[in-house]
Amino acid sequence: MATSHASDRDALTKRVLPEMTLAQGRSPAAEARIDSLHPAARDSAAGRFSIAGNAVITGGTGAIAMVVARAVLQHGASGLMLLDLSVEASRDAVQALRDEFPDAKIETREVDVTDEEAVTKAIDETATTLGSVDMLVCLAGIVGCAHALDMPISQWRRVLDVNTTGAFICARAAARAMVSQGNGGRIILTASISAHRVNFPQPQVAYNVSKGALLMLKSSLAAEWARYGITVNSISPGYMDTVLNEGEGLAAARKVWNERNPSGRMGLPEELAGVVVMMLSRAGSYMNGADVVVDGGGHVF
C-alpha cells in the first residue's frame, strides 16, 4: 500500500509539476553551493553569518532597505541591485554605500514592482550586470489609512497590488533566474505585525490584508521552490521608526503604539537587519517557510 501511495503521489506531482519529481525533492547543486560559498561556516562563528552572491532589494532606497543593504554588504554580498520607484533622492546615500564597499557592485533601477515587464527586465539586468541573482529581499510597500466603509476601492487595489502582487511578481522573476542558474537562492518577503493582528488605533484593512496574504505567499512559494534549493521566508516587523509611519494621522497613533508595546518604543531598521542577514547567510540554510516577528513583544498582548 505504501508503495502504491508513493507512486500515486509521484504521478500526481508529475502531472501537476511536470518538470519535477519528488525524488528530486532536494537540490544537491544548491547544497554544494552553500558549502562551497561558505567553506568555514560549519566551524567558524563569523562564517556562519557570511553572505555570498548578489542581492536584489525592492523598495531598495527606502528607510529599512538602505539599512538592510548596508548589513548585507557588511556580511559579504558581492553585489546589490536596488529597485525603487525613484532613486534620484537617494543618490548620495547610494554613493556612500559605494564608497564604503568599493569591492561591491551596487546598481539601482527605477522600477514599479507592479509592472511585470519592468521587473523581469531589471532581474535580467541584474544577472548580466552583477553576474547572478542569488537573493531577493522584497521591501517595497505602501500603507494607507482609511475606514473600510469609506475607502475608495482604488486605494484597496493599489495597496494589494504593490504589497502583495508586487512581491509575487518580484519573487517569481527572481526565482526563474535562480532556477535557470541552478544554484538555489534566498527570498525574503516583508510582511508585518499587521499580518498577525489588526492595527490599532488606525484603520488599515487593505494594508493588513495585503500583509496577511504575504504570509501564505511565503509558505506556498517555500513549498514549491524548496526542490530548487530556494528558501522563501518572511519578516514581520512591528512599528519601526521610519517615514512610513509619519503619514497623516499616524503621528498621534505613535503614542498609543508605544503605550501598548511591552518595550514601550518603536523599533529601528538596524534592529531588523540582523534577522535578514541570518536568513540570507549559511546560518539560515535550513530555514524555509518561516516568519520571524520583530516587534519588541508588541504581538503578545
Ligand X SMILES: OC[C@@H](O)C(O)[C@H](O)CO
Ligand Y SMILES: NC(=O)c1ccc[n+]([C@@H]2O[C@H](COP(=O)([O-])OP(=O)(O)OC[C@H]3O[C@@H](n4cnc5c(N)ncnc54)[C@H](O)[C@@H]3O)[C@@H](O)[C@H]2O)c1
**Residues recognised as catalytic:** 192, 207, 211
Q: Which residue number, 49 or 207, has a Cβ lying nearer to ligand X?
A: 207
84 interacts with ligand Y by CB under 6 A: yes
Q: Tell me the C-alpha to C-alpha distance, in Å, between residue 29 and each of 78, 108, 228.
A: 20, 30, 9
140 interacts with ligand Y by CB under 6 A: yes
Secondary structure of residue 83 in the 3-state scheme: strand
CB of 240 to ligand X, least distance (A): 7
Q: Tell me the C-alpha to C-alpha distance, in Å, between residue 66 and each of 81, 91, 139, 150, 226.
A: 12, 12, 10, 35, 28
The one-letter code for the residue type at 14 is: K
**DSSP string computed for 93-160:** HHHHHHHH-TTSEEEEEE--TT-HHHHHHHHHHHHHHHS---EEEE-------B-TTT--HHHHHHHH
Secondary structure of residue 297 in the 3-state scheme: coil
Q: Which residue number, 113 or 133, has a Cβ lying nearer to ligand X?
A: 113
Question: In this chain, which stretch among 40-48, 110-118, 224-232, 253-261 interacts with ligand Y, using CB under 6 A?
Answer: 110-118
> Which residues lie near ligand X (CB under 6 A)?
143, 192-194, 199, 202, 204, 207, 238-239, 244-245, 250
Residue 97 site contact among ligand X, ligand Y, none (CB < 5 to 8 Å, cut-off depends on kind): none
Q: Binding residue for ligand Y (CB under 6 A) from 73, 139, 178, 222?
A: 139
Residue 204 site contact among ligand X, ligand Y, none (CB < 5 to 8 Å, cut-off depends on kind): ligand X
Q: Binding residue for ligand Y (CB under 6 A) from 30, 41, 51, 64?
A: 64
CB of 238 to ligand X, least distance (A): 5
Residue 89 site contact among ligand X, ligand Y, none (CB < 5 to 8 Å, cut-off depends on kind): none
Secondary structure of residue 287 in the 3-state scheme: coil
189 interacts with ligand Y by CB under 6 A: no
Residue 199 site contact among ligand X, ligand Y, none (CB < 5 to 8 Å, cut-off depends on kind): ligand X
User: What span, in angstroms and rounded, lies between the C-alpha atoms of 58 and 126?
Assistant: 13
The answer to whether the bond into 152 is cis (omega within 30° of 0) is no
